[in-house]
Amino acid sequence: MFKNKPIEIVNDLKILGIIFDKRFTFRKQCISIRKNLAARLNIIKYLTSNKSFINIHTLINVTRALILSKIDYGLPIYGWCANTNLNQINAPYHQAVRRSINAFPTSPVKCVLAEAGLPSIKDRLRDATYKLIPKLVNSQNKILNTEFINAFTHKRNYKKKSTIRRCVSYCEMLQISKHGTKAKTSQKSPWMLESSSYDITLHKNNKNDVNPVIHRKLFHDLSISYKNQNWNMIFTDGSKTEFTTTFAVVHEDGSLIAGGILEPYCSIFTAEATAFKQALDLASHNKGKFAICTDSMSVIEAVKNIYNNNPLLNNIRNFLLRYSKKTKLIWTPSHIGISGNEFADSAARSAGKAAYLNFHTTEPKDLSNYIAHSLAEKKEIEWQQDPHRYVTLNPKGTRATYPRTTPRQQSTIMVRLRIGHSKLTHEHLLTGTPKKPCPFCKGLLSTDHLIHDCKKLKSTRERIFGQVAPSDLLTNITKTNIDIINQFFKELDLSKKI
């Protein structure tokens, strides 16, 4: 009972636009999306009618905006439902993409999607789910965080794996740490960060304009003035190679204070920021005032930007706020012979070779780049295992870039020849009639046969193609190649039959 009225018992419930049913099959959700997509598909049908002059590029973008945006909402939640339910969405989506590039109705879905540069729903679902990992790892929500960490230890064979458990499996595969960077809450608000906490006076001199000697002199004067006020100068630097990301913090005389190795996927920005944090950590534990010198303006800018909510930067900001009297960041020009800077640079470089401590950072940006990279690699491998001839034309499975000025009729011929399904060669599948032979040599008809093999067309081919190899014409989509192909079929009087 709620306010003296009995609570109605229902089989499904719509929460924030997603329909949850009793058994979490998400069938109703998929059907509701299908209905919505059908209405949107009508817009695409109208835009892609035979009288349309809109180019292929715009049509693909319209399809992406109209159809994919609808599918994307809540996809990691409902997307892992049974294939039969997900197929409800697949049908209108594939139809929309096929119409946008005007591929022949019998064309394989995989080729159509690759030609348009749009993902399959399965791929989209995988991407959307694993993109949640940086958020899960760094989540400040206690309930979510506990659930995520517990999923690493409590293993059970679930009939239906939750999105969190799928993310956990992927984390384990990529060896991503489950413990995110925790930002400690500060007693002071970030906008109270004082301008005296950083000194970027030297940045005003353009490095290219001023002689290195003058730069060194300016820095020397600045450091003397700080030393006179009892500031200790320490230097930080980060380094990144193909296999390691490292950082170091040194004294002015080159003696090492801290150094470490980060995960290889960490960016140079993370290395510089971690070095900062270590330097500030040292400053907070020791007596005296510490001026931390760095050549990374991007980190100082990010620290200054209080809207940047990165946990590592929040920690740096908290240190600066708490120890505002004894810590300061100074920007120094790099690679001009300032000794402290050079020491930090070489210490950071050599950190990869020596046995330094390993530091775990889980910067959201680094993680999402790393995950995106691994997903793209996986996709490429899967793509190349496909035996279809289209894969040789488009080995990376990337979007075909047609010149924006290409008329729709011309791009249609190109698309159909690339995929290998055309009215001439595959219409019999739709009409149920016997397959037609080649109209010229009565041999087995295919699009490749006309472009490459048909012996009766040898002279026409040589005259129109000239020096260009027929396979190059379909691989490289340039205006000239599209014109040559169109010219060829115009002469054969087959333009309307492709």
- List of residues contacting Zn ion (CB under 5 A): 438, 440-441, 443, 454
Token output for 114: 């690759």
234 touches 226 (CB < 8 A)? no
State how far the Cα of 387 lies from the Cα of 385, in Å rounded to an integer.
6
Give the shortest CB-432-to-Zn ion separation in angstroms. Answer: 24
Nearer to Zn ion, 282 or 441 (CB): 441
Could you tell me the smallest distance in angstroms from the CB atom of residue 483 to Zn ion? Answer: 23
Nearer to Zn ion, 299 or 454 (CB): 454
- Report in angstroms how near the CB of residue 498 gets to Zn ion at its nearest: 15
Give the CA distances from residue 474 to residues 57, 242, 389, 405, 482, in Å, rounded to whole numbers and listed in that order: 18, 36, 12, 18, 8
Q: Which is nearer to Zn ion, 75 or 438 (CB)?
A: 438
Whichever of 413 and 438 has its CB closer to Zn ion, that residue is: 438
User: Cβ 418 to Zn ion, closest distance in Å?
Assistant: 20
Please give the angle made by the CA atoms of 477, 117 and 125, to the nearest 5 degrees: 165
In this complex, which beta carbon is closest to Zn ion, that of residue 152 or of residue 440? 440
Which CB sits closer to Zn ion, 375 or 492? 492
Please state the closest distance from residue 448 (CB atom) to Zn ion, in A: 11
Nearest CB to Zn ion, comparing residues 139 and 495: 495
Are the CB atoms for 299 and 261 separated by under 8 Å?
no
Interatomic CA distance for residues 30 and 90, integer angstroms: 10
* Smallest gap from residue 433 Cβ to Zn ion (A): 19
Distance CA 349, CA 234 (A): 17
Report long-range pairs for 47-55 (Cβ below 8 Å, ≥24 apart).
48/99, 48/100, 48/102, 52/408, 53/407, 53/408, 54/408, 55/402, 55/404, 55/405, 55/406, 55/407, 55/408, 55/411
3-state secondary structure of 65: helix
When the beta carbons of 253 and 493 are compared against Zn ion, the nearer one is: 493
Q: Nearer to Zn ion by C-beta: 338 or 450?
A: 450
Nearby residues of 43 by Cβ (< 8 Å), 6 or more positions away: 62, 66
Q: How far is the CB of 447 from Zn ion (least distance, A)?
A: 11
Q: Cα(62)–Cα(383) distance, rounded to whole angstroms?
A: 25
CB of 457 to Zn ion, least distance (A): 7
Q: How many CB atoms lie within 10 A of CB 192?
A: 12
Angle between helix axes 83-101 and 109-116 (nearest 10 degrees) is: 60
Instruction: Give min distance, CB of 443 to Zn ion, in A.
Output: 5
DSSP-based three-state secondary structure for 437? coil
